[in-house]
Structure 1
Amino acid sequence: MTVDNTTSKDLNLFSLPIRFLRREILPVLTDLRLAIILLLIIAFFSIGGTVIEQGQVPTFYQANYPEHPALFGFLTWKVIQVLGLDHVYRTWWFLALLVLFGTSLTACTFTRQLPALKAAQKWQYYDEPRKFNKLALSAELDGISVSSLTLILTKTRYKIFQEQEEDNLLYARKGVVGRIGPIIVHIGIVMILLGGIWGSMTGFMAQEMICSGDTFQVKNIIDAGAWSSQKVLKDWAVRVNKFWIDYTPKGGIDQFYSDLSVLDNDGKEVNHEKIYVNKPLRYHGVVFYQTDWGISAVQVKLNKSPIFQLPMAQLDTKARGRIWGTWIPTKPDLSEGVSLLAKDLQGMVLIYDTKGKLINTVRTGMSIPVNGINLKIIDVLGSTGLQIKYDPGIPIVYMGFALLMLGVVMSYFSHSQIWALQIGEKLYIGGKTNRAQVSFEREVLGILDQLNDQGKK
C-alpha cells in the first residue's frame, strides 16, 4: 500500500505542470491577439533592421548617429550598440520573438486547426426532419427521390456517403482541402521562422576590396552567427580576372562589373562568372555580390625605367566626392616628387607639385615632363568591392514560402456539406459551408431548381 500511495503522489506531482500548461499557458499561446502583437513587433524591428545599416564598424554609427542631435530625439550610436540594432536579426531578443511566434502558431495548429480538420472528416446522417431546421439552408420537396439528388451532387463534384441498407439517407461534402489549408499556412510560416533562425545562427557576412588581377580567400568576416563555421570557405579561392566600369555619355556610372573565377587548391578554375549589381556569383552556398568599387593602384614609368605599380589611397574629402591619390618621387633622395589624383577609371589623372599647384592633366598612355624626367601614366587599376554572404537557412525559407502560398490557395476552398433524408414522398435537404456563403446558397438553389425540373417531368 505504501508503494501505491507513493506512486499516486508522484503521478499527481507530475500532472500538475501539465495541468498548468493546458489551463494557463496554452490559452495564452493560442490567443490570436498574441500572434498579431508578436507579428507587429517582429515587423517593426525588421523594418528597423532594414533602415539602420547592419554589420558596420562602431565608428560608422558614431559618425552617422551622433548623440547631439539624436535622431528622433533618442536614437544614438550608444542606443544602437546597447540594443543590438546594428545586428538586429542575430540578437537574442529578436530570435526569442521568432521562437515565441513560432510556438504560438504550432500550439494553435495542434489545439485548433488539427481538431477542426478531424471534426470535418467526421460525419453522420440526419435521420430526423427536425435536424434540418438547424442548418443554414434547408428545404422540403415532394415527389423527389434521393437517387435524383445523388446524380446532381456527383456532377457538382461532391463526395457521396450513402449506405445500401439505408438508401433514404445521404451525406455529401466537398472542399475538405480548405480545412487543410490553414494547417499548411502555419507549417509554412514556422518553416520560414526556422529558416531565418538557422541562417542567423549559422551564416556570416564578409566584405572584401580586391584589386583587379588578384586572387583572394574570404577573410574579412564582419558579421557571423554564434554557430557559424567558415569551413565552407576552405579549399577554394577567388580570382578577380578583371574589373571595369561602364560610364554614361555624361560621365556618370552606368554599371560596374567583375569577372570572377573560382579556383581549387591546385589553381584550377571550377567556376566562372561575370557579376554586376543584382547578378551575383554563387558557389557552395556562398554568394558574391557586386556592391562597391575603388581605385587600387596606378602604373607609371619614369624615363626608361621598368613599370612601377604604386598603391592609391582614398582621400578624405568631407563627403564632397571620392578621390584617390598617391605620391611619386622624382629624385632618388626623395627630396622632390609629385602627387597623382584620380576620381574614376576613365583614365584622367591630375598631377600636382609639392606646393599643391596643378601641373598638368593627363590620360593613361600619355607622357609629360616633370622635374626634369619623363613621367608616363601606363594605367589606373580599379578594385572591386564584394559583399559575401552565406545563409544556409535560405532553402528552408524558400520551402516555407512555397508552402505558405500553397496553403493560402488551399484555404480559399470552401468546406461544403449537404444532408438529405427521404420519408415517403417527402425529401428533406439541407446544407452548410464554412465560407463563401453566398456562392453556396446559389449552388444549393441551383440544385433545388434541377430537382424541381426533374419532378415536373
Structure 2
Amino acid sequence: MNHIKCECGHVNPEGTVLCEACGKPIAENQHIDGNDKKKLLNMRYEGSARRSTTYNKTIIDKIWNFFSSVKVGVWLIVLALIASGIGTIFPQEQYIPSDAISRDPQIFYPETYGIFGKIFYQLGFHNLYSSWWYLILIALIGVSLVVCSLDRFVPLYKALKRQKPKRHETFINRQRFYSETDHVSSEDLNTVKERLLQQRYKITEEDGHIVAEKGRFSRWGPYVNHIGLIIILIAALLRITPFMYLNEYLWVREGEVKVVPGTDGEYYIENKEFVLDTYAEDDERFKDAIAKQGRVIPSNFQTNAIIYQAEDQEVIGAETKLNKITDDEISMNHPVKFGGYTLYQQGYQLNEFSKMTFKIYEMNDPDADVLGEFTVDLFNPKTEYKLDNGFKVEVTEYYPDYIITEDGISSKTKDSNNPAFVFKLFPPNSEESEISFVGNVLGAVEGLGIDPTVVELQPMGNVIGSFAPSVDPTGENNYRILIDSIDFDRKSGLSVKRDRTLPLFIIGALIFMIGVVQGMYWQHRRIWIHPKKQGILLAGHTNKNWFGLKKDIEKAIENTPIQMVKDQNNE
C-alpha cells in the first residue's frame, strides 16, 4: 500500500483526503488547482481513507467494493420490497383458509385465482418468506450492511479519535463557517471559552489553538441503525430453523388424542368437545348476511382440549404415558400456551367422513335383497372384509381425498374429505373376482372437462346419492356395491406456533430506534479557534443543523470583537 507524507511530517494511507494530523488537504486526492483555495473541504468521514477507495486488485477487494456501495445496498432493499409486495397479492401457503377446496397449494392457487394463481405458485411466491432465493436476498442485504458499516466506521472512528486542536490554516479557512478577526484579547478568548462550556462543549487546547466539540456520539447513529437492522435480518433468517420458529397446522377430531406436530412427540392434545355457536337465522342484524351466504354464520367456535406431556420412556416400545398439564378452551381470541408453544383456533370441519357402510346387491335387480354388508373405518381401513355369507371384499385402492388430474388418479390430502375405493369382490365359493369403484366422480374431475355420472357432493345435503353406485370398469359384473350410510366426525383446525426469534426482533427494533433518535436529535458540532498574529481565525462544522451551530457561535462571541462567521457555501 502506498503512503502519502504531509508537510507536517505525518504519513497518511493512500486515499486519505485530509491529513490525519493537521487536516491539510492532500492535493492529489482533492483535485484542486491553485486558484480554487476557497473550495470547501470534503469532511465526509473526516477525509479518512476507506478500504473500498484504496484497494481494487484482488477478487476479495472487488467483492468488498461491490458490497460497500450504498447504491448496491439500496437496490437490494428495493428488490426485497418488490418481492415482498408481490408475496402479499395472494395469501401465503400457511394462510390458506381451512375451508378451502384443497389446502394443497398446487391445487388451491390455480383453482382460486386462475392463471395468475398458477403463475404465483410456479414462481414460488406462495412460500416466499422461506424460499431459498428470498433468504439469499435477505442475507445479501445483511452482508451489504456489514461491509458498508465496517468500510466507513473504522476510518471514521480513527479520525474522530484524533480531534487535535492544532490544525493547518487551510483546514480552517475552507470550512463552511469561517471568519477572521485582526485583534482579540486573552480576556475575550476566556469569555468565549466559558460560554462554550456553558453550552456543554468540550474544550481542548494546544499551543493556543482551541477546539470546542459536542455531540460526537451522534455520528454513530447510522451505525447503531445498521446493528439493529443486522439483528433483525439474522432473526428473519433464523425463522427457517424449526428450533427457532415453528408454524404447523393440526386437525384433531372430537374424542381423538393426537401428538402436537413439531414437538417431537413431547406434547399431545385431546379434543374433548368441539363447540359451535351460530347467529339465529331470524336475527335482524345478520338476517341479510345469512341469506346472502346461504348458510349459518358462526358466532363462536372453540375446542375444549386437554394438553398432555409424554413421560420419557425407560423401555423402548413401551406404551407412552401421558401427564395432563392443562385443560382449557381454545377459541379465536383465546389461544393456549404450553412449553413455549401456542395453539390457536384457526378453523373447523363439521362433515368429515369417518365410517362408511356398504351393501352388496345383484347388479340387474335393484329390488333384490341385501347379499352382504360391511363397514370401512376411513381412519383405519382393513385390507379385506370377510362376510358371514361367504362374500369377501378386498380394498385394493383407497383415496381419502380423491381427485382425477391430467396425470391420473391421486389423493389431494390424507384427510377423508372425498373418499373413493377400488374394491375386489369375491362371491361365495369362487376364486374369480369382480372389480368395482365407488367414489364422488364429479367432485374429483370438476374443471377437467370429464363427463361426470353423478351429482356433486354437497356438504349439508344427501351425500349418499352423490357417490357413483359401484362403477363397473369391465361391464361384466354380477354384483354391485352401494353405500348404505355414512358417519361423520367434527374436527378442529388448530395452528401450532413457536417463535423464539421474537426477542431478537424486539432487541433489533429497539437498537434501531436508539440509532434513529441518536442521529436525529443530536448533531456533532465543532468550533475551531486558530491564533494568527494578534487575532484569530474562527471556523465551525457540523454534520447537520447548521442554523443551530450558528446560534451557538453567536451566543459565544456576543459582545466581543470577534467577527461573526459567514456561510462560505453561499459565496
Output the TM-score relative to the length of structure 1: 0.65
Q: Is 1:289 matched up with 2:331?
A: no
The reply to whether residue 40 of structure 1 matches residue 78 of structure 2 is yes
Task: Give how far 1:434 is off.
Answer: 0.8
Q: Determine if contact 1:90/1:201 at 8 Å carries over to the other structure.
A: no
Aligned positions of 1:267-306 closer than 5 A: 267-271=322-326, 274-277=329-332, 279-295=334-350
Mapped pair 1:76 → 2:121: no
Separation (CA, whole Å) in 2 of partners of 1:90 and 1:353: 40
> Which secondary structure state, in structure 2, belongs to the residue aligned with residue 200 of structure 1?
coil
Relative to structure 1, the CA distance from residue 127 to residue 398 in structure 2 (aligned partners, 3 Å threshold; closer, same or farther) is: closer
Flag the 1:449–1:432 CA change in 2: closer, same or farther, 3 A.
Answer: same
Question: Equivalent residue for 2:483?
Answer: none
Rounded to whole Å, the distance in 2 between the matches of 1:353 and 1:119 is 80
Equivalent residue for 1:244, pick from 260, 275, 278: 275
Amino acid in structure 2 at the alignment position of 1:109: S
Query: Structure 1 419/162 Cα, relative in aligned 2: closer, same or farther at 3 Å?
Result: same
**Residue equivalent to 1:160:** 203
3-state DSSP class of the match of 2:83? Answer: helix
Deviation string for 1:162-210 (max 9, x for gaps)?
35xx4x3322222222222111211222222222112114344321122
Q: Deviations over 1:332-382 (max 9, x none)?
A: xxxxxxxxx998xxxxxx8979889xxxxxxxxxxxxxxxxxxxxxxx985
Match of 2:539 among 412, 425, 430: 430
- Inter-CA distance 387–49: structure 2 relative to 1 (3 Å threshold): farther
Identity between Structure 1 and Structure 2 (%): 19
1:107 Cα deviation from its structure 2 partner: 0.8
Tell me how far apart the structure 1 counterparts of residues 504 and 88 of structure 2 sit (CA, whole Å).
21
Matched, 1:26 2:64: yes
Within the candidate set 123, 126, 138, 2:163 is matched to 123
Aligned twin of 1:205: 247
- Per the alignment, in what secondary structure is the counterpart of residue 184 of structure 1? helix
Shift in Å at residue 110 of structure 1?
0.9
Q: Say whether residues 1:138 and 2:183 are aligned partners.
A: no
Structure 2: any 5+ residue segments left out of the alignment? 1-54, 97-101, 287-295, 311-320, 354-376, 379-399, 404-416, 419-456, 467-487, 563-571
Q: 1:399 aligns with which of 507, 511, 520?
A: 507
What stretches of structure 1 of length at least 5 have no aligned partner? 1-16, 220-229, 299-309, 317-323, 326-340, 344-349, 357-379
Q: Which amino acid aligns with 1:173?
A: E
Query: How far does residue 268 in structure 1 lie from its aligned partner after superposition?
Result: 3.6
**Cα shift at 1:409:** 1.8
State how far apart, in whole Å, the 2-side matches of 1:387 and 1:108 are. Answer: 40
Which residue is equivalent to 1:419?
528
**Deviation digits for residues 245-287 of structure 1, max 9, x if unmatched?**
4545536334433444432225444356544435533434433
Letter in 2 for 1:62: I
1:192 corresponds to = 232
Based on CA coordinates, which of the two structures has the bigger radius of gyration?
2
Q: How does 1:344-383 map to 2 (within 5 A)?
A: 383=491
Aligned to 2:492, what secondary structure does the other structure show? strand
Q: 1:92 to 1:161 in 2, by over 3 A?
A: same
Aligned length: 358
Decide whether aligned partners of structure 1 residues 236 and 152 sit closer, same or farther in structure 2, where only a CA change above 3 A counts.
same
Q: 2:240, 2:332 → 1: CA distance?
A: 24
Once the two structures are TM-superposed, the CA of residue 22 in structure 1 deviates from its matched residue by 5.1
1:218 corresponds to 2:260 = yes
Aligned to 2:32: none
Distance 2:250 2:78 in 1: 36
Alignment partner, residue 298 of structure 2: 253
Counterparts of 1:206 and 1:199, CA distance in 2? 13
Aligned to 2:93: 54
Distance 2:492 2:560 in 1: 76
Q: Is the 8 A contact 2:188 2:560 kept in 1?
A: no
Secondary structure of the equivalent of 2:342? strand
Q: Give the RMSD, CA atoms, in angstroms.
A: 4.2
One-letter amino acid of the structure 2 residue matched with residue 50 of structure 1: T
TM-score normalised by structure 2 residue count: 0.53
1:449 aligns with 2:558: yes
